[in-house]
Structure 1
Amino acid sequence: MDWDKLRIFHAVADVGSLTHAGDQLHLSQSAVSRQIRSLEESLNATLFHRHARGLILTEQGELLFDATRAMLKRLDAATARIRDSEEEVFGELRVTTTTGFGTLWLAPRLAKLYEKYPDLKIDLMLEERVLDLPMREADVAIRMKEPSQADLIRKRLMSVHMCLYATPGYLESHGTPEAIEDLHGHRLICQNPSSAQVGAGAMLVNELMTNDIQSILTVNNYFGVLQGVLHNLGIGVLPDYLTRDFPNLVRVLPDVQSVEVPVFLAYPEELRQSKRISAFRDFVQEEIFTYRKLLKEQALSV
């Protein structure tokens, strides 16, 4: 089967338009249309339903699109391995992690990585959905539980607990709760227990809500919870990795916390020799070592 025709088909299926696919491929709309028509004739199948507002894949088109998508991912993997045979660290690195960890811990530290490797291009994908690393939806992942997918190299980075925090200003105005029952008179800021998040956080929130808390603000990520806390809206359920970067936060009810949440870094076995992966892994490990060291110094100075 002609690879050029498959490549053009994939572009059209991806954007749903002959014109837009042509723009991406630097081909005229008529040239793209001819290639699609030729491919359909060779397969004796209709690949698209044609509508005034665009193109929709037929059932046969969906089957072919799944195949070309898998082929392109394999080509990306091969390209990455070939490029990573070079000594220099450059090119795109697709990193996936949760919205909270990515915005609050990882992103603020990436300047150091760029200083060392200015030619690195990081695509930071922040979402709670676990991307498929063996299928190259991402190159490397930092996740709040041990990955279950096969053929992954994984390393435990650290542990996290979900705890209660507030600002000094909020506590001065509303008082500091001395027992968990005292939360009844405060606004709780947290993720909705039904939203995508680490199970330990949801369990803690469910436990707290049994105390007949009258006022609650729920946000679908920890960045939003933090903003609510910083603006004195209430007491927030937040991960304890924030304590170093936001030293003014006050731990409320120190005996109340979630069970331990392990943090893992993982990447496909086939990228074991990747210079970009190695550079990112070493950077994260160094930052966590520094983070832990500073936390110990902070604890000793109290």
Structure 2
Amino acid sequence: MLDQNLKELDIRNHAAQEGKAVAVDGFVSGIKHAVDAACKSLLDRQHAEGYWCYELEADCTIPSEYILMMHFMDDLDHKLQQKLAVYVRSRQDEHHNGWPLYDGGDFDISGSVKAYYALKLAGDSPAAEHMVRAREAILAHGGAARSNVLTRLSLAMFQQLPWRGVPFIPAEIMLLPKWWWFPFHVSKVSYWSRTVMVPLMILYSLKARARNPYGIGIQELFTVPPDQEKNYFNIRSRLNLLFLYVERTARLFEPMVPNWLRNLSIKKAEQWFLERLNGEDGLGAIFPAMVNAHEALAWLGYKEDHPYRITTRKALQKLLVVGKD
């Protein structure tokens, strides 16, 4: 609690220095009331066993990606989809008309593209007022081509932009040597990155295509037709430009990769993430990684009733907190 006398003295001294009159008693009383109210609110939310527990609420990219995943797999739960759509609509910012990464945050182009696409997949008309506002905001920020790598990879799999619009991430990366002096190996990046990246390499190498049962697209979110867009990668520095040249050059050799090497690489990536599926808690307990693993299993030929497919589906469902509306 506050030491009221000390606070009053500090405020009086400050007021004297500034030459301003301060209603000390009312000010301190207001602070004390706010602190007491906050303490009471926390205590009211304490469980009988003595702990506090709150929902870990994600930004709108996660529910949007869940809708995208259902359409990728053609595994639609229409009731759940509508609940997710209600949530996404409710989080559209009334000032910039897009979706931020946190409440009250700035416009995020990638999250906004995913949210718009998810709502359109869920049945929202592009002519609806909230969709028009979102589309105008996205186009004003450069359109879907300016979204981040993960978003563009999703759009490539939904055939909304060409594969040249995403980084070159073949499964052969799994075969790179683990020598300390070698510039790259999957073990040299964070675990979060590995779990997301490895099943994504499989999807990239197989040029996976979303089933997208209703054939819904978002070409209206591009300022330039995707096949004509030449600037999918922003040049931020000379080093960035060097890496881009290396990536572009390596991409030229992909058609020359023999089938046996491609199959070996995909198998190694498959074994890597299968060993780390983590049961119903999911690969890395990270939503993007769990989605990539679930989709990769389908493209690797695992049937819907295979234990791996059942496990990854349940892991994703466990992340849902579904309300009444």
Both structures adopt the same fold (TM-score exceeding 0.5): no
Which gives a bigger RCO, structure 1 or 2 (Cα 8 Å, sep 6+)? 1
* TM-score where L is the length of structure 2: 0.24
Higher strand share: 1
* TM-score where L is the length of structure 1: 0.25
